[in-house]
Amino acid sequence: MACGATYVAPSVSPSAPPRTFTMSTDREMITFAADRGALIAFSTKDAPPPYDSKIQRADPSTAYSVDFTVVDLSTGKGSAIDRFALSAATYHGGGGGPRRPAGSIVIGPDRAAWTRLVEGAGGSVTGELRIASLAEPGRATVVGSSTEWIRPLGVDAHRLLYVLGGKTEDQLHVRDLDTGADRIVTTGAVGDQQREGGIPGFNAAVLAGDWAVWLDTPRAAAGKIRAVNVASGAERSIDAGGSSCSGVSAGTRYVAWYCAANINGILDVTTLEPTRDVPFGVAPEASDDALIWFTVIPNGRTVTLFRPR
């Protein structure tokens, strides 16, 4: 999957007065560049597929657009999912302001779910969560909307997991894609959004079979993994085994995470019990029915895929 953005490059006079502006970006965007007065932000997911690359480019006076495109890696064929644009009125300078919805997308076996941004009066932005079949992306269903925060987290053949944010409380939702029934899985208080732990950990939850699983502690603290069964409501709290832990990854067989000091965790996706006799190396990631990890070697590293028989 690739997500990109296209813009009109600005014309800047050498004698133009100094100016500063700020654009909103996704949390994953940590690499930036300048281009003739425009600001560029981009990120590439350094993890197992689906691959997610994003580029944003903006300047104070021109609009920008965002495209969601899904690429079938076996055929190279791309399918346009959605495209939307926001004007320069949506830019908010100064930094440190309240969060707003951001464009994001997740892919399941036969569906895509994404947040589409809609511009309103005075540069306000509303996020619309949509879901559609990959075969017919134009026939999308609007699941919900928010001016605070709304984001898809995972989708499989029958369920959509997403977060709906508010000023004081975030809600983790699951939607039955067969019946349309929608219910709240859990809630969490919203604190200082500029501090670690100010946003509930389930904002980065993954859908692992019948479980929503996430890291529920700040990275510097002793890690705790929390899981809620989206079918029964049963809850689990699991010791991550270390501190400074990564987010959780999930496939069809395993749930995985890793912490500082080369401490790793691998669980069975059905029982959430530790697996036995499963080899793994540095920073294991669960993907599809396999585990992926890397091993540092002189002048580089190797990447290994383990798939049980």
Which band of pLDDT confidence, cut at 50, 70 and 90, is reported for residue 47?
low
Per DSSP, the residues of the chain read -EEEEEEPPPP--TTPPP--------TT--EEEEETTEEEEEEE--SSSSP-EEEEEE-SSS-EEEEEEEE-TTT--EEEEEEEEE-GGG---SS--------EEEE-SSEEEEEEEEE-GGG-EEEEEEEEESS-TTS-EEEEEESSEEEEEEE-SSEEEEEEE-SSEEEEEEEETTT--EEEEEEEE---TTSTTSS-GGGG-EEETTEEEEE-S-TTSEEEEEEEETTT--EEEEEEEEESPPPPEE-SSEEEEEEGGGEEEEEETTT-PBPSS----EEEEEETTEEEEEEEETTEEEEEEE---
Q: State residue 93's pLDDT score.
A: 55
Pair of tokens at residue 162? 């997403």
Q: State residue 280's pLDDT score.
A: 78
pLDDT of 82-119, one tens digit each? 998 888 788 665 555 678 898 899 999 999 999 999 99
pTM, two decimal places: 0.80
Judge whether residue 16 has pLDDT over 50.
no
Q: State residue 52's pLDDT score.
A: 61
Domains delineated in the chain:
79-306 (2.130.10.150)
Which band of pLDDT confidence, cut at 50, 70 and 90, is reported for residue 35?
confident
Q: State residue 73's pLDDT score.
A: 80
**C-alpha dihedral sign at 186, 143, 133, 50:** negative
Which band of pLDDT confidence, cut at 50, 70 and 90, is reported for residue 9?
very low
Q: State residue 50's pLDDT score.
A: 54
